[in-house]
Structure 1
Amino acid sequence: MSAPERPPSLDPIAAARWAALPAAGRASPWLHEEVASRMQDRLDFIKLQPQQWAHWEPVRGGLQAHQALQKRYPQAQVWLTSAQQAEAEAADKVLKAAWWQPARWTGPRVQTGVPPEGTVQMLWANMQLHASAQPQALLQSWHRALAVDGFLMFSCFGPDTLRELRTVYAQLGWPAPAHEFTDMHDWGDMLVQAGFAEPVMDMERITLTFETPERLLAELRELGRNLNIQRFAGLRGRQWLAQLHAALLTLAQPQEGGRMALSFEIVYGHALKPKPRAKVAAETEIGLAQMRQMLKR
């Protein structure tokens, strides 16, 4: 299956606005931290101990998760990478030890920005891909940053996310509350197209419950925005909000004590950057960086 360059229902302008929205100064979303914690359990099966690793969008991905990763790899150099340099610098200030603590001066070096090509042994990207307007290009940028035999760890929303909310919106005749999320098998195909090898994909479903419609909507705002290209244009009024609150109350589950329930499908991915191979053709062009890696073999 050939993966599209852009999810067909995702509005790239809305995605760019969400990416540019400052996240500095806010705590990372609870669900993102929980997913990162579960993703870290998968590191127990990986023997490679990275000497350098990069955290892609650490504020939205999980600052608590970053601290746990630093404890797991205490001697590794760290790169904090964000689409906005100010976001990476803000994360650095939050994560940096106090000036009187020895770890600030004796710990591994922390840098902000995109790591040089082929330098990191692990790239950690938690809950990022589903909001990207160009996921294939993002995967390729991760591939460039990784060293040969380095590995990628990522997570994102899967297609069953918010299925209850999608049903409510459809029953009311409203546009979908979110764009369509990519299936994990398509992510596996896109990883191979980006140059990765041995992709391993799996998924799980997490159900969150809420006491009030207000708390449910607040949680969704922390997780992201509606990036569907067919979403409502302009602002909605109080009457619409009251109708939405009433509709959300229909999600109440007796087995959950009358609390409203929402499902989130979480996709986990792991892949390696293999040794470069020259393609056999009548005329073959090999980049200088690729030639150096081939000669080292």
Structure 2
Amino acid sequence: MSEPASTPTSNKGPRPQDLDAAAVRHQARRLAAAAQPPWLHDEVAGRMAERLTYIKLQPNRVLDASPALGASGELLRLAYPSAELLWHEADTALAARAAEKRQRNWWQKLRGASSGHVDSLPALPQVDLLWSNMALHACADLPELLDTWQASVAVGGFVMFSCLGPDSFVELRPLYARAGWGRPTPDWWDMHDIGDLVLKAGFADPVMDQQRLRLTWATPESLLADLRALGGNLAPARFAGLRGRKWKAALLAQLETLRDGEGRLALTVELVFGHAFKAAPRLTMAAETHVSIDAMRATLRKGRETG
């Protein structure tokens, strides 16, 4: 079943990428209570970690902005064993799950692993790396979040993130349209729009890319179970009512139309990856500009350090 759709709460006007904020909170609570984190996130975290080898910076402070479901803690610890590893979850249920997991990891304490909770963003003191695995597609206000990320990262530091792209589960759209069931998924931000938002937030040199995975299942029941483990339908335009057994039976029958030439049920998942750096702010000059001596000295000093 899915919860009834509610009106988007954004005061910026409707956008194709809008999410239902109430549904976001509901799914966060449900996933926080699940026995295991989403099955796909561990695979994506590994692919993200491979990209860290492209970046020479060795951060002293690392912030994992999606630890409860992101499956990234040990990967970050292996990549930066001497760094201070911090974490933040905006949702209280997910924050409780992340805190409980860290309490159980007694072996990290024996190894002297440094880890701390950041109550709210922006993070102060700022961090050298802000990492977020498979969380942005469940963010109700992405531009606002990127602004807080920018304020959390020190000059010269960087962000690295991953999320679902708009072509994820695209095969479900005509199926739902034929049945009059509304949207099966939101219109997630594509990588070009995310790159533009990253620039607008104040980061520099964003590098965006995407990968497509073709996933297959033997039965419609196993497909639905895996989709439920990934989350729920956050689209404001989804079917505005409760689902029943009759609807589920109809859905299982419709899913049978997804079988490929090998008899497997197939869906596409689009993964979006990105990273960007925080450059030193530039002084803007009007016809008459007042700049403090301290600000001028700091800018000149930063130029000598990076030059």
TM over 0.5: yes
Q: Is the 8 A contact 1:209 1:260 kept in 2?
A: yes
User: 2-side partners of 1:32 and 1:42: how far apart?
Assistant: 16
CA pair 245-270 structure 1, distance change in 2 beyond 3 A: same
Note the C-alpha offset of 1:15: 2.4
Residues 1-297 of structure 1 correspond to what in structure 2 (within 5 A)?
7-8=15-16, 9-21=18-30, 23=32, 26-62=35-71, 65-85=72-92, 87-95=94-102, 99=106, 101=107, 103-105=108-110, 107-113=112-118, 114=120, 116-117=123-124, 119-255=126-262, 258-281=263-286, 294=299, 297=302
Per-residue CA shift, 1:76-124, capped at 9, x if unaligned?
A: 101110013563353244245755x5x5155242111246335211111
User: 2-side partners of 1:169 and 1:265: how far apart?
Assistant: 19
Note the C-alpha offset of 1:238: 1.4
User: 2-side partners of 1:60 and 1:182: how far apart?
Assistant: 20
Note the C-alpha offset of 1:175: 0.5
Give the letter aligned to residue 281 of structure 1. Answer: A
Q: Is the 8 A contact 1:151 1:270 kept in 2?
A: yes
User: 1-side partners of 2:33 and 2:297: how far apart?
Assistant: 39
CA pair 291-183 structure 1, distance change in 2 beyond 3 A: farther
User: 1-side partners of 2:226 and 2:297: how far apart?
Assistant: 48
Give the TM-score, by structure 2 length: 0.84
Three-state SS of the structure 2 residue aligned to 1:163 is coil
User: 2-side partners of 1:23 and 1:198: how far apart?
Assistant: 34
Q: Is the 8 A contact 2:58 2:80 kept in 1?
A: yes
Q: Is the 8 A contact 2:32 2:93 kept in 1?
A: no
CA pair 23-120 structure 1, distance change in 2 beyond 3 A: same
Give the TM-score, by structure 1 length: 0.87
User: 2-side partners of 1:208 and 1:86: how far apart?
Assistant: 30
User: 2-side partners of 1:61 and 1:199: how far apart?
Assistant: 21
Give the letter aligned to residue 49 of structure 1. Answer: Q
Note the C-alpha offset of 1:220: 1.2
Q: Is the 8 A contact 1:6 1:133 kept in 2?
A: no
Give ranges in structure 1 of 5+ residues lacking alignment.
none
Identical amino acids, percent of aligned pairs: 45
Note the C-alpha offset of 1:17: 3.1
Note the C-alpha offset of 1:10: 2.4
Give ranges in structure 2 of 5+ residues lacking alignment.
1-11, 303-307
Note the C-alpha offset of 1:58: 0.6
Note the C-alpha offset of 1:19: 3.7
Note the C-alpha offset of 1:31: 0.6
Give the letter aligned to residue 50 of structure 1. Answer: P
Q: Could you say what the CA RMSD is over the residues aligned between the two structures, in angstroms?
A: 2.7
User: 1-side partners of 2:93 and 2:274: how far apart?
Assistant: 28
Q: Is the 8 A contact 2:19 2:186 kept in 1?
A: yes
Give the letter aligned to residue 51 of structure 1. Answer: N
CA pair 143-292 structure 1, distance change in 2 beyond 3 A: farther
User: 2-side partners of 1:77 and 1:5: how far apart?
Assistant: 40
Q: Is the 8 A contact 2:31 2:37 kept in 1?
A: no
User: 2-side partners of 1:45 and 1:228: how far apart?
Assistant: 35
Note the C-alpha offset of 1:266: 0.4
Q: Is the 8 A contact 2:127 2:157 kept in 1?
A: yes
- How many correspondences in the alignment? 287
Q: Is the 8 A contact 1:278 1:284 kept in 2?
A: no
User: 1-side partners of 2:13 and 2:136: how far apart?
Assistant: 12
CA pair 280-260 structure 1, distance change in 2 beyond 3 A: same
